[in-house]
């Protein structure tokens, strides 16, 4: 990497990427100043109305004030990510002009999965095949499948993928295929030829075998083609569960000896499921659950990139191994010399020494009484270990780069059912709260180390508090209206107009069209259309469960009726 960095900075070398400040940054600053004044004016009105209000009105105003304080805090943290937004442009075509292919750094690509039913093995296999088909020296590329579920179904899928890879990789190289994910390629308008149809038939055969095994729930003898495979699957006994199982490491492809049908070496492909002891604790076109998270994955990272670099959300990131061993100025020595970030492996992947070492570090006892998870490697202590690790690395002084090319570099699976969305959101929210209420909180520890960057991480960490003002404002205006009370500034108020609530302030900055349509009665109907669709019209996994619809409707009705009687 050092050689690449030095080569890329020579006087005559063409650029690998450029970075420029977005033109909207000055306007963002003006926007922040103007809206800060408006928010302060709103709080002044809240305080004045609270002082002169009756007891019943004061309850409404206090709730409104509490909600607005939460919204104002979240708005303030978001501004840190708009003050220095940058845009990068990449020039991969210049890479070979800067450095020889033989000097490319070796890279390890980890593909993580946990549940073969929620993350279909065929989709994970397609991801792995697209990575293995990178336009990159194969001897410098290693792909690791990390299976937290310890599933024999996933291992079988990758055994099939290893066989198919010997045909798919030379096909991509020979025909200069750009879309190297097999599923995406065969769903595109590809050029049909006898060779292409043969490859497609092989892919469909592999896909069918994997899906049949997943449907049956186990790898039966008819799908096992050798004694070696039978020995591998013998580890899955009746006592083998996803919560309690030994380490499973299977080298599926070894670059030193495995070749494709064209005679070229294949990348390393390794399946790994870490030891777990009993005593140790796809989107539809309308994306109704907002699974793309554009604000999280595109807008916020461009703001982080202008500070200390883009943050890490658990996928699509490349790390130098050195960052997991201390700060930029102080390197922590690993327990084993083979774990040193600069150590060069000079033995085959399937050698007994390498496999024995892999089993040792994948065991439960290796990290005991060490700095792993505290000062080394990914940081433990939060369910969102990706964001937490990203935050800690930035606090240590490491910098990163947000690369977001026009052609997506990675595709992933997103939840398409309400149950999966809620489970995902709950996990994220709990993990982020663990981060902000730890001793490394962005509001205390973070501010001492990286200022604005930490303020941006607070925007992520306190994500859960959005639920408080949203819930209050879902019921408060209606309850006030039922009791003929006013909780918002009157139209005659000179300081601020009646439409200038903190909700319209926040939404106005994001979507002026939404602000313009806010006063249209049609807007509420149109805005709720995805809800109607999920409750009634959909017939796939995205349909809202009937039980949830009934309970939600009943609770809403009870709250409104109870509030109406109580506050009369």
Which position among 68, 258, 305, 386 bears the catalytic label?
A: 386
C-alpha 261 chain-centroid distance: 36
Please state whether beta strands 107-113 and 141-147 pair in parallel, antiparallel, or not at all (unpaired).
parallel
Any catalytic annotation for residue 386?
Answer: yes
H or E stretch covering 127: helix 121-132
Q: For residues 455 and 451, what is the distance between their CA atoms, to the nearest angstrom?
A: 7
Q: Are 139 and 104 in contact (CB under 8 A)?
A: no
Which position among 108, 115, 148, 420 bears the catalytic label?
A: 148
Which residue matches tokens 């050029």?
Answer: 191
Q: Are 431 and 388 in contact (CB under 8 A)?
A: yes
Side-chain half-sphere of 246: how many Cα atoms within 13 Å? Answer: 14
Q: 284 by DSSP, 3-state: which? A: coil
Q: For residues 459 and 72, what is the distance between their CA atoms, to the nearest angstrom?
A: 11
Q: Are 465 and 432 in contact (CB under 8 A)?
A: no
Structure-block tokens of residue 76: 């303030």
Alpha-helical regions (H) of 19-120: 25-52, 55-79, 95-98
Q: Are 190 and 196 in contact (CB under 8 A)?
A: yes
287 is in an annotated binding site: no
Q: CB count, 10 Å around CB of 20?
A: 9
How many residues in total does the chain contain? 568
108 is in an annotated binding site: no
239 is in an annotated binding site: no
Annotated binding site: 118-119, 148
Please give the positions annotated as active site: 148, 386
Annotated binding site for UDP-alpha-D-glucose: 118-119, 148
């Amino acid at each position: 990497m050092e050689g690449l960095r030095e080569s890329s900075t020579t006087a005559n070398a063409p650029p690998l990427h450029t970075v420029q400040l977005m033109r909207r940054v000055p306007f963002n600053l003006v926007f922040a100043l103007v809206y800060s004044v408006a928010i302060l004016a709103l709080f002044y009105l809240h305080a004045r109305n609270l002082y002169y209000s009756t007891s019943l009105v004061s309850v409404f105003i206090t709730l409104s004030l509490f909600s607005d304080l939460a919204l104002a805090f979240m708005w303030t943290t978001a501004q840190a990510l708009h003050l220095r937004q940058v845009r990068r442009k990449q020039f991969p075509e210049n890479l070979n002009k800067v450095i020889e292919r033989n000097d490319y750094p070796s890279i390890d690509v980890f593909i993580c999965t946990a549940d073969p039913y929620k993350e279909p093995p065929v989709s994970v296999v397609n991801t792995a095949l697209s990575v293995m088909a990178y336009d990159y020296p194969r001897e410098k590329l290693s792909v690791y499948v990390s299976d937290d579920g310890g599933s024999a179904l996933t291992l079988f899928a990758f055994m099939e993928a290893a066989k198919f890879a010997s045909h798919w990789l030379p096909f991509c190289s020979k025909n200069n295929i750009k879309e190297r994910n097999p599923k995406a390629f065969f769903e595109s308008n590809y050029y049909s030829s006898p060779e292409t149809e043969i490859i497609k038939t092989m892919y469909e055969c592999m896909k069918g075998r994997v899906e049949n095994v997943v449907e049956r729930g186990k790898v039966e003898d008819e799908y096992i083609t050798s004694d070696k495979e039978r020995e591998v699957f013998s580890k899955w006994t009746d006592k083998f569960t996803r919560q309690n199982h030994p380490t499973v490491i299977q080298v599926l492809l070894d670059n030193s000896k495995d070749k494709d049908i064209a005679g070229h070496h294949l990348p390393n492909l390794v399946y790994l499921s870490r030891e777990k002891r009993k005593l140790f604790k796809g989107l539809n076109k309308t994306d109704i659950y907002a699974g793309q998270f554009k604000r999280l994955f595109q807008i916020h990272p461009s703001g982080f990139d202008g500070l200390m670099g883009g943050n890490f959300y658990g996928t699509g990131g490349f790390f130098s191994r050195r960052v997991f061993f201390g700060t930029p100025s102080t390197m922590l020595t690993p327990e084993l010399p083979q774990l040193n970030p600069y150590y060069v492996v000079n033995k085959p992947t399937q050698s007994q020494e390498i496999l024995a070492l892999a089993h040792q570090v994948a065991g439960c006892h290796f990290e005991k009484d060490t700095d792993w998870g505290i000062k080394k490697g990914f940081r433990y202590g939060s369910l969102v270990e990706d964001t937490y690790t990203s935050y800690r690395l930035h606090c240590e002084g490491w910098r990163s780069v947000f690369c977001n090319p026009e052609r997506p570099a990675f595709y992933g699976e997103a939840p398409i059912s309400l149950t999966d969305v809620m489970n995902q959101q709950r996990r994220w929210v709990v993990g982020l709260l663990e981060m902000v209420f730890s001793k490394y909180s962005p509001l205390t520890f973070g501010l001492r180390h990286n200022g604005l960057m930490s303020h941006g991480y607070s925007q992520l960490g306190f994500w859960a508090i959005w639920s408080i003002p949203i819930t209050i404002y879902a019921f408060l205006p209606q309850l006030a209206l039922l009791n003929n009370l006013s909780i918002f500034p009157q139209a005659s108020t000179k300081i601020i107009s009646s439409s200038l609530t903190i909700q319209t302030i926040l939404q106005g900055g994001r979507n002026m069209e939404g602000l313009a349509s806010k006063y249209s009665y049609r807007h509420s109907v149109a805005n709720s259309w995805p809800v109607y669709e999920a409750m009634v019209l959909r017939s796939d996994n995205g349909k809202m469960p009937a039980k949830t619809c009934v309970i939600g409707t009943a609770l809403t009705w009870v709250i409104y009726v109870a509030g109406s009687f109580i506050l009369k």
